[in-house]
């Protein structure tokens, strides 16, 4: 049995034994519990429970008898039903989540995101909400500029880099930082921990997003303190 089939069925909510039994029954068409056990290698002691659960979930039908025969509900119909239910659940969850008030009174104006997915999601959100023509970016990571080039062009971002010679222009407004300013952004090791700044984004002096590495771990630091963002922008404006 192809592992990819089992993995795919597990992603839509079946257990491993359920996925194996269902895939085996699709291949058999109609079979007894014993046939399905032998084809799927689901333990004999579990096969009846597994088939009952698949029946309750709408994947399998049975014909009562001695022995009882099982057959699959047409896979396309099952998958369409699952997809419709999943889309409905996602739409409902999105609507309910939008209605939640996540602005907790007194919450910190500075917080950190650690997961790669979370960081990418935060970057996309920051770029999407930035004021057009008022996005200022200092970047040491050329891969970042390539990945988000279309977003940066759409927002008419001004980009400052520490070394223009290592970078193609990418259709962006790119400026080179003066060398004595660039020195301030070099990697630093403090008490054995190495810090590296990859990118600093400032939106209209109101908020900023810092992408950095701390001791080898990638972080996104969100700062919603206008006074800090103002000083960050002031420093970058002086640097070119």
User: What is the residue extent of each domain of the chain?
Assistant: 3-74, 110-238
- Distance CA(231)–CA(4), nearest Å, equals 53
Query: Of 139, 168, 143, nearest to 236 (Cα)?
Result: 139
pLDDT in the model for residue 164:
79
Residue 107 in tokens = 């919450």
Containing 157, the helix (H) or strand (E) segment is: none
pLDDT of residue 103: 47
Q: Give, in words, the CATH class of 110-238.
A: alpha beta
Q: pLDDT tens digits, the chain, 240 residues: what are they?
A: 567 888 888 888 889 999 999 999 998 888 999 999 999 999 999 999 999 999 988 888 888 888 889 988 888 888 888 888 888 988 888 877 776 654 444 467 888 888 888 898 899 999 998 998 899 999 988 888 888 989 998 999 999 998 877 676 677 888 888 888 888 888 888 888 899 999 999 998 889 999 999 888 899 999 999 999 999 999 999 998
Cβ-based neighbour number of residue 138 at 10 Å: 27
Question: To the nearest 5 percent, what fractions of the chain are helix, strand and coil?
Answer: 50, 25, 30
Q: What is the pTM of this model?
A: 0.58
| Residue 107, pLDDT score | 62
**Whether domain 3-74 has CATH 3.10.420.10:** no
Contacts with 196 (C-beta within 8 Å, 6 or more apart), sequence order: 140, 187, 212, 213
- Same fold flag, 3-74 and 110-238: no
């Amino acid at each position: 049995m192809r592992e990819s089939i089992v993995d795919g069925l597990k992603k839509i909510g079946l257990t491993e034994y359920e996925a194996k039994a269902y895939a085996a029954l699709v291949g058999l068409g109609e079979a007894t519990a014993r046939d399905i056990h032998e084809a799927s290698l689901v333990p004999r002691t579990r096969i009846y429970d597994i088939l009952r659960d698949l029946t309750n979930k709408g994947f399998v039908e049975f014909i009562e008898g001695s022995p009882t025969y099982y057959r699959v509900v047409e896979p396309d119909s099952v998958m369409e039903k699952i997809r419709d239910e999943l889309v409905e659940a996602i739409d409902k969850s999105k609507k309910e989540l939008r209605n939640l008030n996540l602005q907790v009174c007194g919450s910190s104006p500075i917080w950190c995101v650690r997961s790669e997915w979370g960081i990418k999601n935060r970057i996309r959100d920051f770029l999407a909400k930035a004021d057009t023509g008022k996005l200022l970016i200092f970047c040491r990571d050329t891969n970042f500029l390539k990945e988000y080039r279309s977003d940066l062009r759409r927002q008419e971002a001004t980009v400052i880099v520490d070394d223009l010679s290592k970078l193609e222009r990418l259709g962006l407004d790119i400026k080179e930082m003066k060398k004595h300013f660039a020195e301030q952004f070099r990697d630093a090791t403090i008490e054995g921990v190495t810090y590296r700044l990859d990118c600093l984004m400032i939106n209209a002096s109101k908020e900023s997003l810092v992408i950095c590495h701390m001791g080898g771990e990638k972080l996104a630091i969100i700062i919603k303190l206008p006074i800090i963002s103002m000083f960050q922008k002031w420093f970058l404006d002086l640097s070119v």
